[in-house]
Chains A and B, each alone.
Chain A
């Protein structure tokens, strides 16, 4: 799950050729913008079926937080 997620995240945020670590705060990436935020929401919805209110998503700071969100969501299914 982790490997696929990193691939999906890199595609959504257009992080070509970068090393992505779980401790990275993804909103601090140079590539981050309000347009990339849409891509992230779209990826969580289309790849993982995650519906999340923005105030909850905004509490997720790191790549690891997102991975945990997905893990918790898929364990509920």
Chain B
């Protein structure tokens, strides 16, 4: 079973960046009538989201967040021994975006840099990897840069996904320090459900061609997309998530020996407000302990958990705090983590 625990490692600071351009979903009637949009938006709860312009990549959002974090926390760049970039919207197919960021951030060539290609659960995977490497003992400071420009992935002419996704990037500093207590992770994967959220073309199984970029009507509702754009089967994902996420939640609490009342905040991946509301109800969690940003940033995939922490928990994390994180999505992969924070620095969100 994918269960892990760590001691004396933790997040010491987080900063986020979002594009300055705000999309008002109820008014976003480029391809659909406003009255048709309304039912969708009421259910998914995404009133606003941010769209990066053509020139802006996930890495640019992360770079902006990281530069601010480094200056605000007065971090010595020479001490950053590890940089992990999390995204499914990298700059290039090669090289890894993390290596480009090592150069842009003027980090030493002794810095370990690599990418993690996972979706909505990836912040948890990234934390567990960085915690593991820091626990080996020699590394001083680690940066997780987690960014997504999901607005560029999905067709705006497909109502199943066209109103859901937004863009954002975060930078988190992770350090080993005796002030941090234990943290726990449960991580899972189910590749039998690989087709539920997918971009079919553009990889090496089905390489890009004139055919793959053609827009096509894909269903009886008249939704339009190309094979290079993302597809999601919402009902199947929902069905899976409401079953497996609560199961994993309880598995992690059992594993860590933690009572649910000892947790200060429950930070869920911001999938859509219908799923998130349902999970909160099913798990019988107090609403005031569940920060949410789905209404203003939409679903930003792996960025949504740390972005929600920055947006909603700034000035609420003084002293020791226990946060439960729950991520789930494309793969499918899902996970639950219980992390221990001690005076975690949270910067204001930067707009670029």
Determine the distance from Cα of A33 to Cα of B274 in the docked complex, in whole angstroms.
15
Question: 0/1 per residue, A44-61, Cβ < 8 Å to B?
Answer: 011000011110010000
The residue from B40, B236, B278, B281 contacting A54, defined by CB atoms under 8 A apart: B236
When A34-B160, A38-B234, A46-B282 are in contact, do A52 and B40 touch as well, CB less than 8 Å? no
Q: Which of B271-293 contact A (CB under 8 A)?
A: 274, 278, 281-282
Question: 0/1 per residue, B122-148, Cβ < 8 Å to A?
Answer: 000000000000000000000000000
Residue pair A52, B234 in contact (C-beta under 8 Å): no
Question: 0/1 per residue, B2-19, Cβ < 8 Å to A?
Answer: 000000000000000000
The residue from B39, B160, B239 contacting A41, defined by CB atoms under 8 A apart: B239
On chain A, the residues within 8 Å of B274 by CB distance are: 38
Residue pair B278, A37 in contact (C-beta under 8 Å): no
Q: Which of B246-290 contact A (CB under 8 A)?
A: 274, 278, 281-282
On chain B, the residues within 8 Å of A41 by CB distance are: 235, 238-239, 242
Q: Which of A17-72 contact B (CB under 8 A)?
A: 33-35, 37-38, 41-42, 45-46, 51-54, 57
Q: Whole-angstrom distance from the CB of B136 to the nearest CB of chain A?
A: 40
On chain A, the residues within 8 Å of B39 by CB distance are: 33, 35
On chain B, the residues within 8 Å of A52 by CB distance are: 239
On chain A, the residues within 8 Å of B282 by CB distance are: 45-46
Give how many B residues have a beta carbon under 8 Å from the other chain's beta carbons.
Answer: 16
Between A and B, how many residue pairs show CB distances below 8 Å? 35
When A42-B242, A45-B243 are in contact, do A34 and B278 touch as well, CB less than 8 Å? no
On chain A, the residues within 8 Å of B242 by CB distance are: 41-42, 45
When A38-B234, A38-B274 are in contact, do A54 and B43 touch as well, CB less than 8 Å? no
Determine the distance from Cα of A51 to Cα of B238 in the docked complex, in whole angstroms.
12
Determine the distance from Cα of A33 to Cα of B40 in the docked complex, in whole angstroms.
10
Determine the distance from Cα of A35 to Cα of B43 in the docked complex, in whole angstroms.
8
Determine the distance from Cα of A27 to Cα of B243 in the docked complex, in whole angstroms.
23
On chain A, the residues within 8 Å of B278 by CB distance are: 42, 46
Which A residue sits closest to B234, measured CB to CB? A34
Q: Whole-angstrom distance from the CB of B276 to the nearest CB of chain A?
A: 12
On chain A, the residues within 8 Å of B238 by CB distance are: 38, 41-42
When A35-B39, A35-B43 are in contact, do A51 and B243 touch as well, CB less than 8 Å? yes
Which A residue sits closest to B239, measured CB to CB? A41
Which B residue sits closest to A51, measured CB to CB? B243
* Residue picked from B221, B239, B242, most chain A C-beta under 10 Å: B239
Determine the distance from Cα of A45 to Cα of B279 in the docked complex, in whole angstroms.
11
Determine the distance from Cα of A51 to Cα of B274 in the docked complex, in whole angstroms.
18
Q: Which 10 A-B pairs have the closest CB atoms?
A: A37-B235, A54-B236, A51-B243, A41-B239, A35-B43, A38-B238, A54-B239, A45-B242, A42-B278, A38-B235
The residues of A with any CB-CB pair to B shorter than 8 Å are 33-35, 37-38, 41-42, 45-46, 51-54, 57
Could you name 29 residue pairs across A and B whose Cβ atoms are closer than 8 Å?
A33-B39, A34-B160, A34-B221, A34-B234, A34-B235, A35-B39, A35-B40, A35-B43, A37-B234, A37-B235, A38-B235, A38-B238, A38-B274, A41-B235, A41-B238, A41-B239, A41-B242, A42-B242, A42-B278, A45-B242, A45-B243, A45-B282, A46-B281, A51-B243, A52-B239, A53-B239, A54-B236, A54-B239, A57-B239
Given contacts A41-B239, A54-B239, 19 further A-B contacts (CB under 8 A): A33-B39, A34-B221, A35-B43, A37-B234, A38-B234, A38-B235, A38-B274, A41-B238, A41-B242, A42-B238, A42-B242, A42-B278, A45-B242, A45-B243, A46-B278, A46-B282, A51-B243, A52-B239, A54-B236
